[in-house]
């Protein structure tokens, strides 16, 4: 049976080098976008606080038209109207997420701290023969096409941004036909760590380069120089740019490693099993917060999710309370405790385990069991209260490497056991 290509949205990021005139036009657009966003946010907040009146996108769009006719805000007419309308839609999305309790209340954009970006829809740019020309510009942007756009795809949205290091980027949103990779029988459990960034159930360990630690001294010197400079001076602006470039170097190296690692895992394995780590809670430990943030666990999972989805792979997320580290992958016995400093331990059955490899093998067994049992869509945060079991009896040999549970056997004692609703196929 031939695999059917699914149409998905993908964003392609490129470096660009605008001319002085183009950079000035983009800088004015960034400022107008920020101004309109703040005005609309202030208007919506005041309307609700003073009159309990809810204002939506249509009302703020009408306000934008009125603002352009005033003398104080006449400069809004000097830039393309599309990015201004788009920022009102972004504000509407921010309020939607707030009322759905997915995000905090929208905040005002800062000239110094907020992201400098502008979004253009199809009516505000022209993409032809590999050249991109934005509204209010006579010449196309000088873009470094590090990779070609998929054949036959045309950008539906273009976003231009400038990072704190002064680099310019353009993001092209395209609809592409994503064809699944050939099906393979390989499956792997992935245990995330700090000594080793990733430990696979095959026994392979991927070293953690600790990019932030490698540049820590250099970053500290640049930050000290920044602190010594007078606020508002040209030297302080140069020092701030120097600090931003070091941060950008760290981020770029981390992104490069995570992209290469996740691409390799997706191409080599049909099933990948990952633990549902609460990174936000883990970084509350100030001893490990810096190292955890540098590892990029959350981003690694995000990359695996969208790559697996686009390539027809299966990513299984196992509940964070599953005792992967202290369960013996050979006999299924669970140790009473397993402090972090213990990296190797011996089970009562006589098997000596490497902590991380053992955890990866247990994750793989639990993930395959859940995949066979057909558990819920997402991990249950409190599995003991659900009263539901994600287990079913497997025909012997149906799932290689996972023993069948006997009636009355404790799931914690089974290497492939899945606790009630505790793990899920993503």
DSSP 100: T
Let me know if 309 is a catalytic residue.
no
Token pair of 91 as six digits: 């504000």
CA distance 81 to 73: 13
CA distance 293 to 295: 5
Contact between 39 and 67 under an 8 Å Cβ cutoff? The reply is yes
Instruction: Give the CB-side neighbour count of residue 15, counting CA atoms within 13 A.
Output: 6
Contact between 192 and 183 under an 8 Å Cβ cutoff? The reply is no
**Residues 25, 119, 191, 319: which is the catalytic one?**
191
**Residues 25, 119, 212, 275: which is the catalytic one?**
275
Contact between 136 and 32 under an 8 Å Cβ cutoff? The reply is no
Q: Where are the alpha helices (DSSP H) in 14-126?
A: 20-51, 57-68, 81-99
State the burial class of residue 132 (Cβ atoms within 10 Å of its Cβ: 0-12, 13-18, 19+).
buried
Q: Residue 368's closest CA among 406, 317, 416, 335?
A: 416
Token pair of 403 as six digits: 């023993």
**Residues 119, 212, 319, 356: which is the catalytic one?**
356
State the Rg of the chain over Cα: 26
Let me know if 72 is a catalytic residue.
no
Let me know if 276 is a catalytic residue.
no
Token pair of 222 as six digits: 């640049």
The residues near 316 (Cβ < 8 Å, ≥ 6 apart) are 271, 272, 273, 274, 367, 368, 370, 371, 423, 424, 425, 426
Pairing of strands 314-318, 271-275: parallel
Q: Residue 332's closest CA among 408, 424, 402, 384?
A: 402
Q: Residue 204's closest CA among 330, 400, 361, 399?
A: 361
Token pair of 204 as six digits: 């392979």
Which strands sit side by side in the sheet containing 271-275, from one edge to the other? 205-207, 196-200, 187-192, 271-275, 314-318, 423-425
Give the residue numbers annotated as catalytic, written as ranges.
191, 275, 356
């Amino acid at each position: 049976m031939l695999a059917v290509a699914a149409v998905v949205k993908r964003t392609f990021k490129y470096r660009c080098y605008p001319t002085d005139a183009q950079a000035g036009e983009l800088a004015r657009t960034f400022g107008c976008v920020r101004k309109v966003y703040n005005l609309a946010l202030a208007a919506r907040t005041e309307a609700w606080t003073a009159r309990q009146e809810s204002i939506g996108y249509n009302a703020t769009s009408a306000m934008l038209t009125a603002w352009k006719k005033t003398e104080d805000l006449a400069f809004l007419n000097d830039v393309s109207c599309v990015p201004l309308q788009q920022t009102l839609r972004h504000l509407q999305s921010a309020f939607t997420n707030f009322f759905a309790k997915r995000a905090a209340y929208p905040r005002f954009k800062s000239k110094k701290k907020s992201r400098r970006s502008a979004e253009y829809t199809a009516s505000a740019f022209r993409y032809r023969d590999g050249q991109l020309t934005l509204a209010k510009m006579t010449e196309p942007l000088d873009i470094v096409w590090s990779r070609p756009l998929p054949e036959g795809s045309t950008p539906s949205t273009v976003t231009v941004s400038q990072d704190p290091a002064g680099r310019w980027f353009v993001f092209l949103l395209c609809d592409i036909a994503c064809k699944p990779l050939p099906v393979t029988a390989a499956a792997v459990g992935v245990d995330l760590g700090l000594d080793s960034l990733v430990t696979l159930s095959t026994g392979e360990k991927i070293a953690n380069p600790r990019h932030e630690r490698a540049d820590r001294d250099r970053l500290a010197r640049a930050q000290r120089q920044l602190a010594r400079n007078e606020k508002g001076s040209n030297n302080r602006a140069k020092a701030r740019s120097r600090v931003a470039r070091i941060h950008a170097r760290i981020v770029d190296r981390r992104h490069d490693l995570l992209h290469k690692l996740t691409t390799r895992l997706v191409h080599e394995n049909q099933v990948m099993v990952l633990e549902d780590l609460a990174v936000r809670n883990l970084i509350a430990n100030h001893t490990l917060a810096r190292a955890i943030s540098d590892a990029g666990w959350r981003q690694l999972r995000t990359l695996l999710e969208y790559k697996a989805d686009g390539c027809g792979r299966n990513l299984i997320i196992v509940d964070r309370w599953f005792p992967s580290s202290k369960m013996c992958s050979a006999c299924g016995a669970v140790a009473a405790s397993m402090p972090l400093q213990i990296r190797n331990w011996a089970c009562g059955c006589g098997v000596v385990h490497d902590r991380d490899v053992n955890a990866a093998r247990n994750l793989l067994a639990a993930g395959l069991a859940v995949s066979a049992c057909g558990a819920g869509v997402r991990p249950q945060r409190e599995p003991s209260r659900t009263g539901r079991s994600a287990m079913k009896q497997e025909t012997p040999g149906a799932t290689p490497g996972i023993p069948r549970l006997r009636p009355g056997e404790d799931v914690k004692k089974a290497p492939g056991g899945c606790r009630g609703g505790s793990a899920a196929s993503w």
